[in-house]
Copies of this chain bind each other. A is one copy, B any other.
Amino acid sequence: MSSKLFNPAATIKDVAAQAGVSVMTVSNVLRGRGRVSEETRRRVLETAERQGYRPNLTARALVERKAPTLALMLSCITNPFYPEFALAANLQALKHERHLLVCNTDHEPDRGTGFLEQVAGSLSDGVLVANNADLPIDELRALQERGIPVVISVWERPDEPPGIPCVTFDSEGAGRLAAQHLVEYGHRRIGAIVGSPKHGIHGGRYAGFREVVRAAKIRQSTADERFTEDSFEHGYEAAKDLLSARPDLTAIFVSNDLPALGVLNAASDLGFSVPGGLSVVSITDIIPARQSRPGLTTVAIPTAEMAEKGVNLLVELMAGRATEATVVHTSAPKLVVRGSTARLR
């Protein structure tokens, strides 16, 4: 049985006439407002259903000064993290009866700015910024100052809130878990490949890693580290460079799964056996992490939860129930051991 589609020829006047009520009553029933008897409510809904009438969301948005969409800004839809995040955000937005307008900035800040100019406050009345969306924080603050609700999910520095409502996770804890796993497996010669500058977006993950390595009295120098960009290709190139310079490493910490998958390929191309000759651990747990051979040992962060809480926070903010200082935390990261790590022989 197929669902009934809407009939664009039907109007609210038709529904009111057929149901024998005023246009205002139909409007109240469909928007769940005002006082209407149960009997009238049912008659209006049945009439609207029979006529295939659906309120025009664009028109309603204008009347209510409310847009029917939320905007999601992300930096790169072909990075597998973002489709997983966007899917969860999409489903959560639907629960709030909003559609999700996805803007892919594609690492071009101008594109994000252009999108915000056209969308924020008109087509969408709230903006969710996924981390790494290439927008200067000052532009987000300017948007906020103009009264446009903005939420950042994910903010990786829970201790240094951005002055914009945000969803965070324990990025240092994730880095510590990954490092502890390597230390417990007996590794002492450990390299690091970080998908951002040292104090950039993966700075918290790196700081957690360094804390554990230092506590274990493992000597580590800048020769063991590479700071690069957060992509498969950059992970591949950084690992080729690092492993050529330091073939004695027995393990590599990578700050994110996508570059870590590139590291696995580089190791394979250079003749390193993973995990026999080299262990690789990273952070996130995107779908391809479990599809690679060997499977990638990684610290899972709660991607869907971060998206859902981001949407919820945006809705709360629009309702005046959150402030610029609101910080929402998510579940603790968890180590997922797969085939890319082994005890040092």
A residues within 8 Å of B by Cβ? 2-3, 5-8, 54, 56-59, 61-62, 67-69, 77-78, 80, 82-84, 86-87, 90-91, 94, 99-104, 106, 110-111, 113-123, 136, 138-139, 142-143, 146-148, 232, 261-262, 264-265, 268, 287-288, 291, 293
CA distance A69 to B117 in the complex (A): 15
Are the CB atoms of B68 and A8 closer together than 8 Å? Answer: no
B83 and A5 contacting across the interface, CB-CB below 8 Å: no
A115 to chain B, nearest CB (A): 7
Contact status A121-B6, CB under 8 Å: yes
Q: Is the CB of A99 within 8 A of B117?
A: no
- Copies, count: 2
With both beta carbons as reference points, the residue of chain B lying nearest to A147 in the complex is identified as B8
Q: In the bound complex, what is the Cα–Cα distance between A100 and B103 (angstroms)?
A: 8
Set of chain B residues within 8 Å of A56, measured between Cβ atoms:
122
A104 to B90, CA, bound (A): 8
- Whether B110 contacts A57 by the Cβ 8 Å rule is no
> What is the distance, in angstroms, from A314's C-beta to the closest C-beta of chain B?
17
Q: Quick one: given A77-B86, A78-B87, A102-B100, are A54 and B118 in contact (CB under 8 Å)?
A: yes
Instruction: Please state if A78 and B84 are interface contacts (CB–CB under 8 Å).
Output: yes
Contact A5 B142 (CB under 8 A): yes
| Bound Cα distance A293, B293 (Å) | 8
Q: Which 4 A-B pairs have the closest CB atoms?
A: A77-B83, A3-B113, A56-B122, A6-B117
A343-B113 Cα distance, complex, nearest whole Å = 52
Contacts of A138 on B, CB cut-off 8 Å? 2
Known A59-B62, A68-B123; 19 more pairs at CB < 8 Å: A5-B113, A5-B139, A6-B120, A7-B146, A8-B146, A58-B61, A59-B122, A69-B101, A69-B123, A77-B86, A77-B87, A78-B80, A78-B287, A87-B104, A87-B106, A90-B102, A94-B111, A99-B103, A265-B293
Closest B residue to A100 using CB positions: B102
Query: Taking CB as reference atom, which chain B residue is nearest A290?
Result: B232
Interfacial chain B residues near A86, Cβ < 8 Å: 77, 102, 104
- A62 CA / B61 CA spacing, docked (Å): 11
CB A142 to nearest CB in B, in angstroms, measures 6
Establish whether residues A123 and B57, one from each chain, have CB atoms under 8 Å apart when the complex forms.
yes
